[in-house]
Amino acid sequence: MQVEREKRRWNKNEMARHLLKEAGCDASMVTSLARSIRDWEKGKHYPRDWAAVYAQVFNLPEDDLFSKKRASHEDDEMERRRLLQALATLGVASPPVFDSLQTIRDSVGLSLGRDERLDVEMWEEAVSEHGYGYRLTPPQQMLGEVAADLVAVKQAMSRAGDHSRMFSSWCRVTGGLSLLMAKTLCNLEQSRQARQWWATALNAAELSGDPDLGSWIKAEQLIHGLYDQRPAPVLLRHADAALNYYGDSAYRGVAGISATRAQILATLGRSAEATAELRRCAEVFERLPDSVTSTRQGRTIESWGAERLSYSQAWVHAYLGNRDRLDEAVNHTHEALDPSDPNPRFRAQLALLQAAGYTRSGDVSEGIRHAQAVYQSYPAEQRTVMVTRLANGVLEAVPTAEWRTHAVADYRELLAASGRRAIT
């Protein structure tokens, strides 16, 4: 279109006048149509309603003028339908009225001259809001919400075009949403499905040029890998590589990577190394910026506060059976938690950790009693893989000689009755 226009030495306003004249439209629309011409020539949109008029003005066959653009537009439309169908399969169907409103909104935005920066800021805020709601929202609900947002962001990126000046920012948003999707799938015991989302999140972080985001994603991937019971030597290799890569930086994910490394070492029975890694984790924590460690703005998965540090210490001491140090770490975690913040999932995990530690230290009856009280009262829809894995960890810590006791048998039956979670 631009080539044909420039052959005739027309500027965009002149092009608009020729189109309006050919279509028999009011010449007062020149300015608005000229803005649309600018976007059409940049490839942002296909001039569906003006394609035939363009062909008449240029005296060219429409297929010759628009074959590639039309194919691209048709591909975009087919992809849009596939994405909407995928959302419907997940139970996130969008009523037709909302699709119509989106079409109107796109048209209004085009007329005004869309400010892409505002779109990016809106989606960055959406990722942040998910971070606050993650621990309170049932995983199945979170799955649908994040999936819908990923589709919307994909469509926004398509509208922005391949050479958007905000491309790195869009990648940052995509990385955050993909991380949330991976975590949610892991919580639903769909770790195989989550693997591709971890890869997508890490790729988006790399394209965004944001190492802070990349470190956060890597830390979350490692901790979920631990709860998914991936081979400890494999996880340790990844943790070592990540710590070597990020060095002494103060990115928010580095403390999480170090904490997970300590937990991995504990599962391998390397208690001295695990304890040493906890000390390094505490040193990393001291270097983190206040924006990461502070809880003044509320609890979010994007932060790494003092409660995360003491929770990691409790995890290691529970696995090693160090009851006194476990109780000390649990008390520190409770002190760091805001009493007004319910955060039931985190509190349940902490209580189950303590129960596992008691069992490993030899107090089986107290450990089982404590775990049963926590798990039995916890809502079934909130029993994520982390909660269930910790509950199973209590049972795994019971010595063989104690398995036939009534308390252990009742607890084993409770866990078996909870069943496996699946996406339906």
Confidence of residue 110 (pLDDT cuts 50, 70, 90): low
At residue 350 the predicted structure's pLDDT band, cuts being 50, 70 and 90, is very high
pLDDT at 69: 46
- In this predicted structure, what is the pLDDT of residue 288? 95
Residue 135 and residue 308: Cα distance in Å, rounded? 14
**Confidence at 340, pLDDT banded by 50, 70, 90:** confident
Whether 95 has a pLDDT exceeding 70, the answer reads no
What is the average pLDDT score of the chain?
Answer: 86
Q: Which residue has the higher pLDDT, 119 or 371?
A: 371
Quick check: 73 pLDDT over 50? Answer: no
- Of the two residues 258 and 9, the one the predictor is more confident about is 258
pLDDT digits (tens, 9 = 90+) for 23-41: 888 778 888 888 888 878 8
Backbone angles phi, psi at 93, to 5 degrees: -70, 140
List pLDDT tens digits, range 183-233: 999 998 899 999 999 999 999 999 999 999 999 999 999 999 999 999 999
Query: Which pLDDT does position 102 carry in this prediction?
Result: 62
- Average pLDDT (353-362) is 96
Q: CA-CA distances (angstroms) from residue 33 to 15, 30, 56, 63, 113?
A: 9, 5, 17, 22, 12
For residues 180 and 142, the answer to whether their CB atoms sit within 8 Å is yes
How many Å is the maximal CA-CA distance in the chain?
92
Q: Give the residue, 67 or 148, on which the prediction is more confident.
A: 148
The yes-or-no verdict on residue 43 having pLDDT over 80 is: no
100 pLDDT exceeds 90? no
Judged by phi (left if over 0) then psi (alpha if -120 to 50, else beta), residue 229 lies in left
State the distance between the two ends of the chain, measured CA to CA, in whole angstroms. 48
Instruction: Give percent above pLDDT 90 in the chain.
Output: 56
Please give the pLDDT value at position 423: 39
Alpha carbons 314 and 317: distance in angstroms, whole number = 5
Q: What is the pLDDT of residue 5?
A: 85
Given pLDDT bands bounded at 50, 70 and 90, which one contains residue 157? confident
Q: Is the pLDDT of residue 390 over 80?
A: yes
Cα–Cα dist 123/173, whole Å:
7
For the chain, domain boundaries = 2-71, 115-209
- Prediction pTM value: 0.74
Distance separating alpha carbons of residues 178 and 201, to the nearest angstrom:
5
pLDDT at 96 over 60: no
Distance CA 402, CA 252 (A): 43
